Amino acid sequence: MRSDQMKKGMERAPHRSLLKALSYTDEELRRPIIGIANSVNDVIPGHKHLREVADAVKAGVMIAGGTPMEFGTIGLCDGIAMGHKGMKYSLPSREIIADSLEIMGTAYPFDGLVCVCDCDKIVPGMMMAMLRLNIPAILVSGGPMMAGCTNKKKVDLITVFEGVGAFAAKKITEKELKQLENDACPGAGSCAGMFTANSMNCLSEALGLSLPGNGTVPAVMAKRLRLAKHSGMKIMELLARDIKPRDIATQKAFENAITVEMALGSSTNTVLHLPAIANEAGIKLDLGLFNEISARTPNLCRISPAGENHMQDLDAAGGVSAVMSELNKKKLLHPGLMTATARSVKENIHDAVNLDPEVIRPVEEPYSPDGGLSILFGNLATDGAVVKKSAVAGSMLTHEGPARVFDSEEDAMKAIMDGNIKKGDVVVIRYEGPKGGPGMREMLGPTAAIAGEGLDVDVALITDGRFSGGTRGAAIGHISPEAQEGGVIGIVEEGDKIRIDIPNKSLELLLDEGTIEARKEQWKRPDYKIKEGYLSRYAKQVTSASTGAVFEK
C-alpha cells in the first residue's frame, strides 16, 4: 500500500507513535488510509454543512474496511467576494487549492482520496489535484441549495443581484429588494441555478469522477448523505481495482463532459476549468473542440439563469444521468468509458429515465439543435471568447453597436447604476483578465444590473474578465488575448462600432486593419495593478483564459 511509506516497518515506529497520538489504533493503521479533503468553513453557504457530508464519507470508508484521515483546504464564496478586491482572489484560489491537495497527498501518502467540496473554484481545484496526484480518488459535493420563494415565485441569488438593478431603475421598492434578500437563499448548498458550482459538480459526473447524483441531489436531502456514504465505500473498490483518475478522465471522457455541458447550458466558467483539469493529465482541450461538439449537441435544459427551473427540478427530472441517457439515444456519448462507480457510462445510465420532459427536453425536441455555449472568434478575440448562448435573448444573438469603454468593473458599474448606458450600447470592460485584473474577476454585478434595468435585450457586454454562471444576456467573456497582453480589446475607443454574431461565432471591431495596427503601435502596456503578495506572483505566472488560465509550465 502507498501509505506503507509512513506506517510500515520498524523504522516507522516514530511515525506510528505520532499517528497514535491522534488516537489511531494498530488495527486502523493496518488498513488502507484514505485522505478526506474537506473544504468546510463558516463563510460559504455551500460549505457550511460539509462537516456532516465528510462524516458520512468517513462512515462509508470505515464500512468498507478503510481508515479515513481528514484535512482541510481553503474556499471562498464568489457571491460574497463579488464587486470588491476579494473577487480578484477567486480564480487564483483554484491553483492554491490544487497545490494544497498535492502537498497533503504527498506528505501523507494516502492510498486513496475523497474530495468533499461544493462551490466555484474549489470543485475544479480539487479535480485538478485528483488528476495531478493520480491515486484512486472520488469527488463528493455538498449539493445545490434549494430555490427560495417570494410571492409564490421561485427566486435565487441572481434574482437579488438583478433586483439591485431593478431598484436603481425604480422598478422595485427598497422593501421589495429586502424581501428578495431575505428569501432568495433559504439554506445550505451551492446557489440554486446552473451557475459555476453546480455546473462543475454536474460535469464531475459526466467526466466520471463522481457518483451519479453528485451534481443535482439537493444539500438538504438525506439522499445527499447516503450518496456521501456510498462514495466512501466506493473509494475502497476503486483502490482494490487500482482505478485511478487518469484511467477515468481520458480525452474521450472530456468529450463526454463537453457534450453534457452543451446539453445543460452550463456556466461559461466551465470553459476555463475543463481545460485546466485536462491539463493536469497532459490533455489539451482546444477551444475549437467546444464549438465542434456544440454543433452536434442539442441544448436540452434551460436551468436558471437561462430559464425558470432550478437544480431541484433537474434532480427530480432524473438528473445528469437522465440528460446523458437522452444524449446517448443519438450516440452523442462515448458509453464504454470507466467511471468512479467502477462501471461504464453505459451501465451507469442504463436505468436512467427522463421523468419530466419540461425540465429535460427529449433529444428529438431540444430547445436548440446546438449547444448552450459558443466560442466566438474574430479580430477582437483571435484566441477566442465565450458566451452562454442559451441565456441570450433571440434579438441579441446578432448585434451591432457603439463601444462604451471602461478600464475596470467599478467604472462600468457606476455608469450602469447612474443610467448612462443606453439601448444598443456595447459595454467594454477591459484590464480585468487573468494578468490585467489580476485574477479575472466575475462581472455578475454589471450584467445583473443591466438585466435588472431591463436592458439585457438591448445592451451587450464584452470583457477580458469573466462572468458568473448566473449571468444572462449578451455577455461575452474570456476575450483572448486580454488587454494586458496587447489584445485588440485594449485599443478599442469610445464610440467604435462592434459587431456580435453569435450564430456565426464571430466578434469583430469594425475598424480596418491599418487603423488597428496604428493604434497598437501607440498602445503602451500598463504596469500590473498589484505589485506585492500572491496576486503579484499570480499575474506574472498565469496564462491566457484561452488555455484555462493555468500557470506557465
Catalytically annotated residues: 468
Name residue 103's amino acid: I
Q: Where are the alpha helices (DSSP H) in 336-487?
A: 345-348, 409-417, 444-452
Please choose, from the candidates 99, 110, 539, 70, the residue with its C-alpha nearest in 3D space to the C-alpha of residue 280.
Answer: 99
Name residue 304's amino acid: S
- Residue 112: phi and psi, rounded to 5, are -150, 170
Q: What whole-number distance in Å separates Cα of residue 515 and Cα of residue 332?
A: 45
Distances (CA, A) of 362 to 296, 322, 323: 15, 10, 9
What interhelical angle do 409-417 and 444-452 show, nearest 10? 10
Residue 257, SS3 per DSSP? helix
Q: Per DSSP, what are the bridge partners of residue 501? A: 398, 506
DSSP 151: T
What single string gives the DSSP state of each residue in 287-344? HHHHHHHHHH--B---BTTSSSB-HHHHHHTTHHHHHHHHHHHTT-S-TT-B-TTSSB
Length of the chain, in residues? 553
Q: Which uninterrupted H or E stretch holds 69? A: strand 67-72
**Strand-strand pairing, 497-501 and 398-406:** antiparallel
Please choose, from the candidates 112, 108, 96, 140, the residue with its C-alpha nearest in 3D space to the C-alpha of residue 7.
Answer: 108
Cα distance between the two ends of the chain: 31
Cβ-Cβ contacts under 8 Å for 318 (sequence gap 6 or more)? 325, 352, 353, 354, 355, 356, 360
